[in-house]
Amino acid sequence: MRLSGRHIVITGAASGIGRATAELFAKEGAKIAVLDLNLAGAQEVARAISGTAVAVDVASEESVNRAIETAGTAMGAIDGVVNSAGINFYGLLENTDFSQWQKVLAVNLNGPFLVCRAALPWLRKADSATIVCVSSGAGVSPIVGSSAYASSKAALVNFTRVLAMELAPKVRANAICPGIVDTPMSRAMAKARDPSGTSVSPFANQLALKRKAQPEEVAAAILFLTSNESSFATGSTLVVDGGRAYY
């Protein structure tokens, strides 16, 4: 029960890494607010873990402010945030519309900014609190055809480092950079890169571990950064990518 007594908001928690994190954190004793644009999905997860489901569009300031206030009121506190909501778009620069660029950055970068800013008054009430931003391996080693996604995730790493400096010592902020994870978003990206394929396995073969990760493996790393086991880590970037050289 490494998170006993904790009250944690997780965005993008209806599926993928966010869902796996919500399920693991609940098992470790935390109260969870399951935030997602997909309210039905969030409600399904919340029912399974006795959490609180809240609809949110992380790209909307009004929606985020309302969702964080709802979550904090329902749980009675917020002492942890996991920014897991994210979207992707695959396309070379000449095939990327400005609207697509803006949409990716609105969710992947503006979203964590809005969530952290809205949660800050709650976090500062806690004796100690944590923020984990889910970046990507693409944020430290770019991928061809992902200018918007890779840029947003690289900026998210530096945003997290700034938070660590500004919010210390009461709030710790760290980033995690997963590699290829078996999620709906990763499968969709793989198909966009190779319409004839239906899985991410060809890219996984380029990793040292020769396989894609499961969401639960990434959730375990997020748990480490949220728990007291990482009590002296802030401003860190934890890469969990199976030994990626390139893809």
Give pLDDT tens digits for 93-135. 999 999 999 999 999 999 999 999 999 999 999 999 999 999 9
Number of DSSP helices (H) and strands (E) in the chain, helices first: 9, 7
pLDDT at residue 194 is higher than 70: no
Residue scoring higher pLDDT (244 or 161): 161
Q: What is the pLDDT of residue 189?
A: 60
Residue scoring higher pLDDT (203 or 149): 149
Q: What is the pLDDT of residue 90?
A: 86
Percent of the chain with pLDDT over 70: 90
Active site residue 90: no
Q: What is the pLDDT of residue 190?
A: 60
Q: What is the pLDDT of residue 242?
A: 84
C-alpha–C-alpha distance, residues 243 and 179, integer Å: 9
- Describe the strand order of the beta sheet including 80-83 as a list of residue ranges: 52-55, 31-36, 7-11, 80-83, 129-134, 171-178, 237-240
Homologous superfamily of the 7-180+215-239 domain (CATH): NAD(P)-binding Rossmann-like Domain (3.40.50.720)
In this prediction, residues 218-243 reach a mean pLDDT of 96
Q: What is the pLDDT of residue 206?
A: 74
Closest CA to 213 of 236, 192, 244: 244
SS (H, E, C) 118-158: HHHHHHHHCCCEEEEEECCHHHCCCCCCEHHHHHHHHHHHH
Mean pLDDT of the chain: 92
Q: What is the pLDDT of residue 205?
A: 73
Closest CA to 1 of 231, 229, 238: 229
Residue scoring higher pLDDT (244 or 185): 244
C-alpha–C-alpha distance, residues 168 and 170, integer Å: 5
Rg (CA), the chain: 17
Task: Enter the tokens of residue 86.
Answer: 């994210």
Q: What is the reported pTM?
A: 0.92
Point out the catalytic residue in the list 90, 149, 246, 247: 149
pLDDT at residue 228 is higher than 60: yes
In this prediction, residues 198-218 reach a mean pLDDT of 76
Residue scoring higher pLDDT (194 or 5): 5
pLDDT at residue 235 is higher than 50: yes
In this prediction, residues 19-40 reach a mean pLDDT of 98
Tally of residues, the chain: 247
